[in-house]
Each structure stands twice: as C-alpha cells, then as structure tokens.
Amino acid sequence: MNRPSARDVFSKRSERYVNSATHADPDVLGRVVQFARVEAPSLALDIGTGTGHTAFALADAGASVVGFNITPEMIQQARRHIPTDSGDIRFVQGDAHTLPFSSSAFDIVTCRRTAHHFLDIPPTLAEMARVLRPGGRMVIDDRSVPEDDTVDAFVNNIDCIHDPSHVREYGVSAWRSMIEAAGLRLLDTQPYTQHRPIADYVKGIQDENADRLKDYVQQADKAILEKIQLKDNAYTHWFVTIAAERSA
C-alpha cells in the first residue's frame, strides 16, 4: 500500500491546526525561540510552518520570517491568521527536500513538528544547512523516541496509524549523527515528554484509524505498556528540541 503524501493528508486537516493547542504550546514555542537566539534584524526560515505558529513566534521575537510549507491549504490558513501586530512575515509553498533559496540566505532555520514527515532526512538536513549562513543557527523540534528499539518501533507504528504520511521519528543519538553528517555543529539537545490522552491524540482523524490506534495501544505487551506509562487512557509521547550551528 502506498503511503499518502503529507500534502494530501494535511490539505484535509489544515483548518483544525489553526487552533491546535499542541502547536500553539507557549512553552515549546518559547524554547524554539530561545534556542534560535533571535536578534533583530535576523532573517529566519521556518520549514514545515503549517499554519504559522512558529513563524509568528519568531516574528514576535524580532525576526523577519519566511514560512515554508508543502501544503497550499496550510499556507492559506497561515496567511489568514497573521497577527495584526506581527512584523515582516511572508509564506512560500514548496518542498523541503529542494529548498528554492540561495545558499547562506538565512540567519536562522527552524523546523518544528515536521521532520518525521520527510521522506529522506539526510539530504533535507543538507539543504537546511546550505541555506543557513556560516555561524547561523538551526533549531529542530520534533516527535522523538527513547533509546529503546522496542519502544521506538511501537511508537513509530502508533504514529503511522495516527497519520499515514508519517515516515520516521528519531531518538537523540540518531539526530546527533545526522546533524553532524550534515556538517553542522550540535549545540544543545533537550528531550522532553508529554503524557497525552489517547482521545486528544485521535481528534480529527478517521474513525477507523482512531479505533485501530486505541486497539493497538490497549493490546500491547505488558512490558511496552509499562514503558509508555499507559494510565487512564493516556500514555507518554517523546519529543526533542535540537540546536545546531553551521560552522563559520
């Protein structure tokens, strides 16, 4: 069975992302901005901008921002919801695997909750590094997995059920290797977890996929359930925020 593209999936979900509490989480947005070390007049590229939450946060911190996304419907929602007091923000539609920007064009490149949809991470990271100026910062925040192969496989299977365009989420050690292979210097990693109700996680997805996801979690081995800390129909989700720098 062919995997649907992220563009196909998110063209149908774009409207609900505008008010998504997960994507508007002020703590995570604040961490991304902090890791980016925004200073006016920084020029930032936000890859996988969705409906613009990270782009708006970067602009609020003083950056001029280009929000970039593969899904036109997401871009349309982002443009409709630009805050009236925001600074310089524009949105561009395109594919992160081949960025349509000049080399060394940006002081900051961010990518939040998107990398697990990339079909091929290494060349995409190389593209992100290419458009970053020497000394510039890259910040990635994404779903992650613990350093446990069994839980890694289980969590990735859950997310494939939740979103058929899901490709892969990675642990900290894998991110470290990929960042370094892209010629970037790793500055900081901050893993974190959130204990999220299954009911909240399946909102807005097809009923059959929601039922499959619930069954998959409930029928897991006891050892897995202990590791994901299933309790009261909620379980642990892993994430990581990463800061890296392009060498001067």
> Does the pLDDT of residue 13 top 70, yes or no?
no
> Does the pLDDT of residue 11 top 60, yes or no?
yes
Say if 212 falls within a structural domain.
no
Say if 101 falls within a structural domain.
yes
Task: Give pTM, 2 decimals.
Answer: 0.94
Query: Residue 68's domain spans which residues?
Result: 6-145+165-195+239-246
Say if 136 falls within a structural domain.
yes
Q: What is the pLDDT of residues 92-110, one digit of tens each?
A: 999 999 999 999 999 999 9
Q: Is 66 helix (H, G, I), strand (E, B) or coil?
A: strand
Going through 147-233 in order, the beta strands assigned E by DSSP cover: 184-197
Say if 218 falls within a structural domain.
no
Say if 217 falls within a structural domain.
no
What are the residues whose beta carbons fall under 8 Å from the beta carbon of 202, sequence distance 6 or more?
162, 209, 210, 213, 214
Q: Is 161 helix (H, G, I), strand (E, B) or coil?
A: helix
Q: Are 113 and 65 in contact (CB under 8 A)?
A: no
Q: What is the pLDDT of residues 71-92, one digit of tens each?
A: 999 999 999 999 888 789 999 9
> Nearest 10 degrees: CA dihedral of 117, 123, 124, 129?
150
Beta carbons within 10 angstroms of residue 179's beta carbon: 22
User: What mean pLDDT comes out for the span 214-218?
Assistant: 93
User: What mean pLDDT comes out for the span 198-226?
Assistant: 92
- Determine the length of the chain: 248
Q: Is 54 helix (H, G, I), strand (E, B) or coil?
A: helix
Kindly report the average pLDDT of the chain as a whole number. 93
For 140, 192, 226, the CA distances from 146, given in Å and listed in that order, are 17, 10, 14
Please count the structural domains in the chain: 1
Report residue 7's pLDDT band, with 50, 70 and 90 as the boundaries. confident
Q: Give dist(CA 211, CA 218) in Å, integer.
A: 11
Nearest to 59 by CA among 72, 76, 41: 41
Say if 215 falls within a structural domain.
no
Q: Give dist(CA 203, CA 149) in Å, integer.
A: 28
Beta carbons within 10 angstroms of residue 238's beta carbon: 20
Say if 229 falls within a structural domain.
no
Q: Give dist(CA 176, CA 170) in Å, integer.
A: 10
Output the domain CATH number for residue 121: 3.40.50.150
Say if 118 falls within a structural domain.
yes
Report residue 204's pLDDT band, with 50, 70 and 90 as the boundaries. confident
Please tell me the least confidently modeled range out of 6-10, 146-150, 164-168, 219-223.
Answer: 6-10
Q: Are 107 and 137 in contact (CB under 8 A)?
A: yes
Beta carbons within 10 angstroms of residue 160's beta carbon: 17
Encoded tokens for 77: 């929602």
Determine the residue type at 101: F
